[in-house]
Amino acid sequence: MIPIGRGQRQLILGDNGTGKSSLALDTVINQRGQGTYCVYVLIGQKRSTVINVINTLRYAGALEHTTLVVAEATALPGLNYLAPYAGCAVAEHWLHRGQHTLVVFDDLTTHALTYRELSLLLNRPPGREAYPGDIFHIHARLLERATCLAPAAGGGSLTALPIVETKEGDIASYIPTNLISITDGQIYLDKGMFAAGRLPAIDVTRSVSRIGGKAQHPRLKQEAGRMKLDYLQFLELEAFTRFGTRLEASLERRIKRGKVLRASLEQERSSPVSATFLLAWVIAVNEGLLDNLTAEQIPKFMDRIDAQLRASELDLQHERTLWVSALREWLGTGPTSQEQSHE
């Protein structure tokens, strides 16, 4: 629902402890075997955090295609300031050799604080929130290195995933506002969803990709657009039920289907899925093949789809009718709820 294309700058933001780094790590892990070189830049992080990142990548087999640039919390401010530029330089080396690269900056809030500290020590005039006037410039200069080269120039790409921390969900503060205006979209992680155990805690209503479906396969674009609309309508209907509003039977069915959809959106950490699985899952949701399930049954059926898909030869190029018939066979379902109501 939030596509990210090569050469894009997609911001990941949210409060502390909402899974921002986990989402970025899953993206790095998902590049395994796809020919994409990754650079993970840790800015001002604790040594325990650095060790956890290394162990996570090693356990997932992602260290082979990943370079880590680390400036620990105990490092000098100058090293914390230079760390993202060093990581970007490493990625650009591969970019100009025609490789596809992904850079994660974890996180630019710490980088901004470091730059503010250095500027105040140099007696530079402070501006808003005591940041120097060129704080926007240094982040724009960094993130605008993300690009997708023409085939004549090698055809490489550099995709950037900057991370920024918010305070109490306030995305209108200085640094988040700056980075939102620089990037091509944002993925917002909600603290309330995280506390409720709905992981990843991505708030679809506040997340957006300005590239849109141009970065998606046409089949995925068609199916995901319909699913996102259904999910947003469900969220609106769910808000009414909190006031004890009595709903019609048709609306009750839509509420139930929305809860199943929300349960199917949940995903375990360090378990990225392929584009083929995404297409199978979205078609199953849009066809109503999961409507009669409870939220607790969803993980088992997702595993069944994954296992059957690995043994089949279906891919993104096959016709939708083949996908629907295969999914009905795998899930053991009959006609959809829409077909039953039509009959």
Catalytic residues: 210
- Chain mean position to CA 244: 34
| Cα–Cα distance, 326 to 305 (Å, whole number) | 10
Max Cα separation, the chain?
76
| Cα–Cα distance, 46 to 52 (Å, whole number) | 10
Rounded to the nearest 5°, which phi and psi values hold at 68?
-105, 130
Read off the tokens for 247. Answer: 């709903």
| Cα–Cα distance, 22 to 337 (Å, whole number) | 36
Is residue 41 within 8 Å of 84, Cβ to Cβ?
Answer: yes
| Cα–Cα distance, 91 to 78 (Å, whole number) | 21
